[in-house]
Amino acid sequence: MTAGLPPAARPARLPTERTAMTHSLPGDRAEPADRPAPGTGEPAAGAAELQGTVTSVDGWPLAGVTVTAVAGTGVQVGWAVTDDVGAYRLAVSGTGRVTLVVAAAGLEPRAVPVAVRAGRAALAPVTLVSSAAGDLPPAGRWVIDPAHSVVRATARHLGLSRVEGRFADFDGVIEIRYPLEQSAVEVSIATASIGTGNADRDRHLRSADFLDVERFPHMTYRSTAVAAASDGHWRIDGVLTIRDISRPVPLDMTYVGSEADPWGATRSAFVATAQLARRDYEMSWNLGLPGGLSLVGPTLRIDLDVQAVLDPQG
């Protein structure tokens, strides 16, 4: 069910990746060579400095984003570029109200009003979305590409750390129809493909205590309703079946954007999260510990990072 790519092909990166290209605005000037590194030193007496971060809609830091401070008169009073972790440090000449113009190629620019005072101020993170993400993806049959998608389940261990498992073998289809409520999602996952990086733990997870892969080789998810929650965010109601037990599990999904790849295909990216209780699927194995703790937490967090290819025949 998945779309094939040439063996050595490398797909086009979505514009919201952390390697976003720098976009220059008219009037931008080169960053001063003597500008100190972010987080070091103190602004001069009476000077103002703004610090913050820029991220994509799915939380990735964006590098190479220009942050320009513009006074009410339209004069540029500061300029900076985000570093590899999406952080910027911007010296502003003067105080008062300014507008920060945050922009990068392939992303929708943001204008953020700020009241500037002398000294250093930390600002709230700014999120940029793909220039295509404001729209919905084109209607059609979108086939999930497992080579560029992740299905991940995370559990708590001893109430302290998290243990993550990934399923390597899965396929699925996202049917986008308009109105959006007519859309549908269907996914099948091979239970034996679970991997946590520990062979003994993986064998236990495949046993009857958990997934029981000999009797139940697949788990499935089928949507029952789709609704737009806000710009780029959807709620998917659906049924998750594990060990032949079906339970309703809603997904909170974010549409990241769409791009053409070098081989003429159209790709879209989506991220989604859900939580489920292990006992709902009769996977209640555990070890009780002194103090009332359990070895394995009662809930699982499910994270999906999906790239799908538009089927030209769909």
Domain presence at residue 89: yes
Query: Please, which pLDDT band fits residue 94 given cuts at 50, 70 and 90?
Result: confident
- The domain in which residue 95 lies consists of 48-128
Domain presence at residue 43: no
Give the CB-side neighbour count of residue 278, counting CA atoms within 13 A.
Answer: 18
CA–CA distances in Å: residue 184 to residues 225, 234, 236, 247:
7, 12, 9, 17
Other beta carbons within 10 Å of 56: 23
Q: Give residue 103's pLDDT.
A: 95
43 vs 129, higher pLDDT: 129
Q: Give residue 218's pLDDT.
A: 97
Q: Give residue 46's pLDDT.
A: 60
Cα–Cα distance measured from residue 176 to residue 5, given in angstroms and rounded to the nearest whole number = 22
> DSSP letter at 291?
G
Given a contact cutoff of 8 angstroms between Cβ atoms, the answer to whether 256 and 56 are in contact is: yes
pLDDT at residue 108 above 70?
yes
166 shares a domain with 304: yes
With H, G, I as helix, E, B as strand and everything else as coil, classify residue 166.
Answer: strand
253 shares a domain with 211: yes
Kindly state the tokens that stand for 239: 């049924």
Task: Let me know the angle formed at the C-alpha of 111 by 106 and 112, rounded to the nearest 5 degrees.
Answer: 130
pLDDT, average across residues 240-253: 94
pLDDT, average across residues 191-211: 91
Query: Please, which pLDDT band fits residue 144 given cuts at 50, 70 and 90?
Result: very high
pLDDT at residue 292 above 50?
no
Cα–Cα distance measured from residue 278 to residue 271, given in angstroms and rounded to the nearest whole number = 22
255 shares a domain with 163: yes
Q: Give residue 21's pLDDT.
A: 34
Kindly state the tokens that stand for 118: 């002398």
The rounded Cα 131 to chain-centroid distance in angstroms is: 16
pLDDT, average across residues 218-245: 90
Per the structure, the count of domains in the chain is: 2
261 shares a domain with 234: yes
Question: What contacts 272, CB < 8 A, 6 or more positions away?
Answer: 236, 251, 252, 253, 254, 303, 304, 306
Kindly state the tokens that stand for 297: 């937490």
With b for 16 or more beta-carbon neighbours within 10 A and e for fewer, the 20-48 pattern comes to beeeeeeebeeeeeeeeebeeeebeeeeb
Domain presence at residue 88: yes
Average pLDDT of every residue of the chain: 81
Claim: this prediction has a pTM higher than 0.75: no
Other beta carbons within 10 Å of 167: 19
Query: Please, which pLDDT band fits residue 161 given cuts at 50, 70 and 90?
Result: low
246 shares a domain with 150: yes
Q: Worst-scoring range by mean pLDDT, 33-37, 81-85, 295-299? A: 33-37
198 shares a domain with 96: no
285 shares a domain with 145: yes
Q: Give residue 277's pLDDT.
A: 86
Given a contact cutoff of 8 angstroms between Cβ atoms, the answer to whether 130 and 137 are in contact is: no
107 vs 239, higher pLDDT: 239
Last residue of a domain, one of 108, 128, 148: 128
266 shares a domain with 147: yes
Domain presence at residue 39: no
Q: Give residue 138's pLDDT.
A: 86
CATH code (residue 115): 2.60.40.10
Domain presence at residue 27: no
Query: Please, which pLDDT band fits residue 280 given cuts at 50, 70 and 90?
Result: confident
100 shares a domain with 171: no
CATH code (residue 197): 2.40.128.110
62 shares a domain with 195: no
Domain presence at residue 102: yes
Please identify which residue in the block is written with the tokens 């080789």: 217
189 shares a domain with 255: yes
183 shares a domain with 116: no
